[in-house]
Structure 1
Amino acid sequence: MKQLYIVVDIPKYPEDNPSYKYVVRANDYKEAIEIVKRKTGRASWEFDANLAENNEVWE
């Protein structure tokens, strides 16, 4: 079952903050990261994904 994940880029330097946050519907965190890499074209960037605490989608 697909769930919502929050995917953020991992900064190169510890003092920096993530630049981007993406909300992705995926089967697991690895798939969520792969979706972001594919859609953004940033295959060389490092990303981290966490399951969203609330899966309610606002329209």
Structure 2
Amino acid sequence: MEKIKELFKKELNVVNIGLESFYMDLKKQNKKAIHLDWKPPAGGNEKMASLLSKLK
């Protein structure tokens, strides 16, 4: 339990993947964060993603 308490005393550093509004909220709070604009392959369409994976 002590290690968990130590963790929450440290400065927050965030890598945000996907939802940009979450990143913007962190920046408004002056938290260290970077944003990766990620979307699922083929827009999340499993059939299309399967077809695209065969092109590799």
Give the alignment's TM-score, normalised by structure 1: 0.27
More helix by share: 2
More strand by share: 1
Which structure is higher in RCO with an 8 Å CA cutoff and minimum separation 6? 1
Structure whose alpha-carbon radius of gyration is higher: 2
